[in-house]
Chain A
Amino acid sequence: MTGPVALKAAYIVTWVILLGYLGSLLQRFRRIREEMNDLKRKG
């Protein structure tokens, strides 16, 4: 692995992890809001 390739790989990996984690948090938010709405409808 050459220097420039490693540099690109490190930056891309960092962004993928950050955005992936943020995406997973937002997905969990959506799911929990749906669950809350279900509970409100039932209750």
Chain B
Amino acid sequence: MKSVFIPFVVLTVGLLAFSTYQALFVAPTEQTMGEVQRIFYYHVPSAWTAGVCFFVNFLASVLYLWKRNAASDALAAASAEVGVMFCTVVLITGPIWARPVWGIWWTWDARLTTTLVLWLIYVSYLVLRRFSSGGQTQVLAAALAVFGFVDVPIVYMSIRWFRTQHPSPVMGGGENSGLDPAMLYVFFWNLLSFTCVGIVLMVIRYRLQMLEEKVEAAHVTAALQGGAR
């Protein structure tokens, strides 16, 4: 596993550098918004990666509820944390983009509100995992994750279901949607690099979670041995 992971990390760093260069210097400048539109190349891939992480969290949680194995619980914890990190990027870069374009930092429209709710759901998931004590924490967290994931498709569909301040979908949004091919090319490079960053962070966080559980088990064993003496 290690022999694959290190080259994958190196590849991810290279991809991220390449895609950032493409986004800042190669992609054509959008006519209406100008330079600020380049935030798109970080904002949308971050949202995509958060969605991927929450999907992994959903699958791992379902698997945990079914099999009750430590590995799927560790994967659920890892993917939720990385997903929250990417969702935070979305919630910060969005308003930074909105201010010069819309003239406001924030508005309570469907896309923005459902994204904030999504962030709050997964922050509460992490808080539950961190501060809940007792044997049922993992089960409660998995159940919360399964119900929490319902918000992901709602976020995705919100700009299709409602007329919002947030722009309509650029891809797959009907007749008048679409990107300039040069922009699409850069966008896909960024989508790929952010997905790879998400995978790298999830793997690191998963390993950390497994180690933490190992240490916790060793502490319990040491305490029991100490008590038995």
List residues of A (7-41) whose CB comes within 8 Å of B's CBs: 7, 9-11, 13-14, 17-18, 21-22, 25, 28-29, 32-33, 35-36, 39
Contact of B208 among A9, A10, A29 (CB under 8 A): A29
User: Within the assembled complex, what's the spacing in Å between the Cα atoms of A1 and B93?
Assistant: 13
Q: Which residues of A contact B222 (CB under 8 A)?
A: 39, 42-43
Mostly, the B contact residues are: helix
Q: Which residues of A contact B96 (CB under 8 A)?
A: 1, 6, 9-10, 13
Tally of chain B residues near chain A (CB < 8 A) = 33
Q: B111 interface residue, CB < 8 Å from A? A: no
Which interface class (under 10, 10 to 19, 20 to 34, 35 or more) fits A?
Answer: 20 to 34
User: Within the assembled complex, what's the spacing in Å between the Cα atoms of A17 and B89?
Assistant: 7
Assess whether B89 is in contact with A25, with CB atoms less than 8 Å apart: no
A-B contact pairs, 7 of them (CB 8 A): A6-B97, A7-B38, A10-B42, A13-B89, A21-B85, A39-B218, A43-B222
